[in-house]
Structure 1
């Protein structure tokens, strides 16, 4: 494709996507590349991505961020799970935690033993064997370090995305990333291959590069407006196309989980931060007007609003190529999957890490582009299926929206996973699937899918031994909860607030 060594990397757009990209590239490649980031104070960011999943821990460690400083600078709280309310049916709730129920067994997951125990008369829910769930219900958190994985408590964060971007910007500039303030007025392409050559700002400054990262948000300044990459529309599976966000005063007590509350044509998020709550309603414009959506959100915020509502329009789907010519689209420029499972920031992280793995230091090759795009496509599709699962498998009959998503035709990959679990209780994690078996299990069971069978290995012990095992695991899971601090106390003590 090109024999030019990639020395100059230009990132178009700041925000979370731009500054994560700059931080990862500069931290790992150092002086081998020059990194320039172009952003304008005139352009606001979407800025509602406040909830994350556990891989953010690895990102922050790789960037050398001190956790205490990070928590203070971004007003962060800890996240152990998402609580889904009214999704299966009104009044029902369940958790998707970052932990796993029970303990690991060779060749046979815990839920098979649990299924057999239920048939013997066990009345517990499977979440009673999940330490993350127990800590959520108690409003507690701690860094639990143990050689025994049965009492691990994986976590992520809620944080202010704009403060995180500002925090990373400071770290990036210390590492040598050059920030250019200004609006891009013109993009120049090489005549022979269409590659991006340079971006010219309104003040006439020309910024040339060998590799460009498009973090310009939904508009996709380079990937779409310049290269016309195209978009794969998934709104027939995920019909929500708008959101309205509005911050409010913090609760007296901050919970260590995100709340996702289903309404008649969408769902509401509640995210607790140190200094405020993040609130928003994701909805379909085919079922709600903007005024209706705002009315629903306003009537379901339980603390005083701190700002005017921010309306956001989107279309679920992905760019047909995340890497096109010498442009890699990252963040909203690469596609959009609604924030139901807090994957937006993770998709930024994985896109940049994937680029590092395939970094074209001695010139861009088609083989690298193809591999990058194949991995990106698979990742988006796997997350898409997981999100569709929440909508499609429901028992609500109170609105046309829920009847429509229940009766829609879904991807065959998702149908296979649901039918396999129904028939045998088996769940298999596909290659590089972001979500583990325990995640699929919790959402399928939470949405009301019941397995008709369990693995024969669950019959290897007597009835008495199995029920004794269940009691022992439950006791082990409950034991740490009484010893750890409340979530608010942890934040105060750990951060020195």
Structure 2
């Protein structure tokens, strides 16, 4: 009987994407007859500025066997409860997008409908008072979730990390090599394809060594050595929706307490990230080159640093979009090689993680069933579009008209999928989650409310509750939040204790 199982896998490119793929596949395949080799060159740098994540990273860390205390120490990580947005709706506005839901859903209706009715009364509490993680973030406090405390906000705590992506990549390399992945140093100078079907057959290094494989994972960043330069997969350009196309990053010294959240501050032609790590602050200005020069963008970044710079400015260029075929023939692209969505909601590493999971679900044999490949590409495109729409919302849901950049994004044509969501919400406050998409109802609500888009009405069922009962319920929720807040500790001290446990 012919053996159709894939035995040779070559990962082209290292960095976060390459070594996450190597670590994940080495564990998930669990077959000693499968050889996984990763080819990378020390001469070719990696982007490696993505330092903020979302909660799903914890599940990948568990999959590859990382202990949190050791992980925190090895990557200079801090805890993250969400993102603070500054100047997005109007200049001077501030709001949080937390990882946990607001309040408690009641009678099968999302909590925000009850709050939308309650806020119409004079003296009603703001939405922040109904989210434990927002309250904790404002006080620079953190604690782990307590799943055994049922029916308590302490059981619903969700958190992620802010960490050094280059150190994380090195950590993943150790994990992968410890499970038999072979690293090959070298620069690829030639890609050979099978003449009969165009499948990638092998890559040749400068040394003359030829590496053959049956499945190739392209982690070569924006250039897409295999997926684009070789297979010409094409690219869907979404820069008309997300026009920022450059970034300048620079680290600075720590200043003040380590905040358990990332900050995104809107500027005249883009926005600036602030990510606290144990040993430094990561900073970057994401901007649209049509409205601001590189020198001006760098000066804007440096004027907003909290501490003295400790690195040189590093410039990046990108184009928002996705490969038309993230999986083409026997090549699967991951990370920047597959597409790019700007770092506004810290989704880059998550999209690598879900792509690895999707690949394992549809893992091929040597026949490379085209229906499986089509399904993989369809689901990848759907996921990218859902995240894309959520990112666009931050730009179009603004009242800013102070610069040409904000005038463009405020009035630009929107994808129909996003326009429908906005129209439904502005009419009656309804929010939907499709296909278990990444960002749920509370995330959409956080941006809508945070950027001053409030609906005309709310769910009519909410009107069936007497005023006194609604007031009582809302007060009870606030009391529960404040009581749970007593369980939180100073983030700096909590972090030090966890690192010492390593």
TM-score tier after normalising by the smaller chain length: over 0.9
TM-superposed CA distance for 1:104, in Å, is 2.3
TM-superposed CA distance for 1:149, in Å, is 5.2
> Residues 427-446 of structure 1 correspond to what in structure 2 (within 5 A)?
427-446=431-450
The reply on whether 1:150 has 2:153 as its aligned counterpart is yes
Distance 2:312 2:357 in 1: 36
The reply on whether 1:389 has 2:393 as its aligned counterpart is yes
Partner of 1:73: 74
Distance 1:480 1:321 in 2: 47
Distance 1:292 1:205 in 2: 46
TM-superposed CA distance for 1:118, in Å, is 1.7
Work out whether residues 80 and 156 of structure 1, in 8 Å CA contact, stay in contact via their aligned partners in 2. yes
Distance 2:471 2:122 in 1: 9
Partner of 2:91: 90
Partner of 1:101: 102
Query: Partner of 2:145: helix, strand, or coil?
Result: coil
> Residues 236-255 of structure 1 correspond to what in structure 2 (within 5 A)?
236-255=240-259
Partner of 1:424: 428
> Residues 15-414 of structure 1 correspond to what in structure 2 (within 5 A)?
15-31=15-31, 33-145=34-146, 146-148=149-151, 150-151=153-154, 152-361=156-365, 363-414=367-418
TM-superposed CA distance for 1:106, in Å, is 4.4
Deviations 1:202-237 (A, max 9, x none): 111111111100000000000000001111101111
TM-superposed CA distance for 1:121, in Å, is 3.3
Work out whether residues 3 and 364 of structure 1, in 8 Å CA contact, stay in contact via their aligned partners in 2. no
Work out whether residues 101 and 130 of structure 1, in 8 Å CA contact, stay in contact via their aligned partners in 2. yes
Deviations 1:280-308 (A, max 9, x none): 00000000000000110111101011111
TM-superposed CA distance for 1:362, in Å, is 5.4
The reply on whether 1:466 has 2:470 as its aligned counterpart is yes
> Residues 449-464 of structure 1 correspond to what in structure 2 (within 5 A)?
449-464=453-468
Distance 1:291 1:4 in 2: 55
* TM-score, scaled relative to structure 1: 0.98
Query: Partner of 2:158: helix, strand, or coil?
Result: coil
* TM-score, scaled relative to structure 2: 0.97
Work out whether residues 153 and 484 of structure 2, in 8 Å CA contact, stay in contact via their aligned partners in 1. no
TM-superposed CA distance for 1:461, in Å, is 2.2
Q: Please say which of residues 203-212 and 105-114 is displaced more in the overlay.
A: 105-114
Work out whether residues 82 and 262 of structure 2, in 8 Å CA contact, stay in contact via their aligned partners in 1. yes
TM-superposed CA distance for 1:478, in Å, is 1.4
Distance 1:252 1:399 in 2: 32
TM-superposed CA distance for 1:163, in Å, is 0.2
Deviations 1:319-340 (A, max 9, x none): 0011000000100000111100
Distance 2:343 2:152 in 1: 29
Work out whether residues 379 and 432 of structure 1, in 8 Å CA contact, stay in contact via their aligned partners in 2. no
Deviations 1:421-479 (A, max 9, x none): 11111000111311011001101111111111111221232111100100100111111
Query: Partner of 2:45: helix, strand, or coil?
Result: coil
TM-superposed CA distance for 1:348, in Å, is 0.5
TM-superposed CA distance for 1:144, in Å, is 2.4
Deviations 1:50-95 (A, max 9, x none): 0000110111111111001110000000000100000001111111
Work out whether residues 120 and 463 of structure 1, in 8 Å CA contact, stay in contact via their aligned partners in 2. no
Query: Partner of 2:97: helix, strand, or coil?
Result: strand
> Residues 483-494 of structure 1 correspond to what in structure 2 (within 5 A)?
483-494=487-498
Query: Partner of 1:246: helix, strand, or coil?
Result: strand
Deviations 1:94-128 (A, max 9, x none): 11110111012343100111111122335221121
Work out whether residues 119 and 126 of structure 2, in 8 Å CA contact, stay in contact via their aligned partners in 1. no
Structure 2, gaps ≥5 residues long: none
Work out whether residues 5 and 363 of structure 1, in 8 Å CA contact, stay in contact via their aligned partners in 2. no
Distance 2:487 2:415 in 1: 45
TM-superposed CA distance for 1:482, in Å, is 2.5
Distance 2:367 2:74 in 1: 38
Work out whether residues 54 and 160 of structure 2, in 8 Å CA contact, stay in contact via their aligned partners in 1. yes
Distance 2:268 2:212 in 1: 50
Query: Partner of 1:95: helix, strand, or coil?
Result: strand
Distance 1:237 1:312 in 2: 19
Query: Partner of 1:483: helix, strand, or coil?
Result: coil
Distance 1:79 1:148 in 2: 23
Distance 1:219 1:250 in 2: 34
Q: Please say which of residues 423-432 and 371-380 is displaced more in the overlay.
A: 423-432
RMSD, matched Cα:
1.3
Runs of 4+ in 1 over 6 A off after TM superposition: none
Work out whether residues 6 and 363 of structure 1, in 8 Å CA contact, stay in contact via their aligned partners in 2. no
Distance 1:388 1:149 in 2: 34
Number of matched pairs: 496
Deviations 1:364-414 (A, max 9, x none): 100110000000000010111000000011011211110111011010100
Query: Partner of 2:226: helix, strand, or coil?
Result: coil
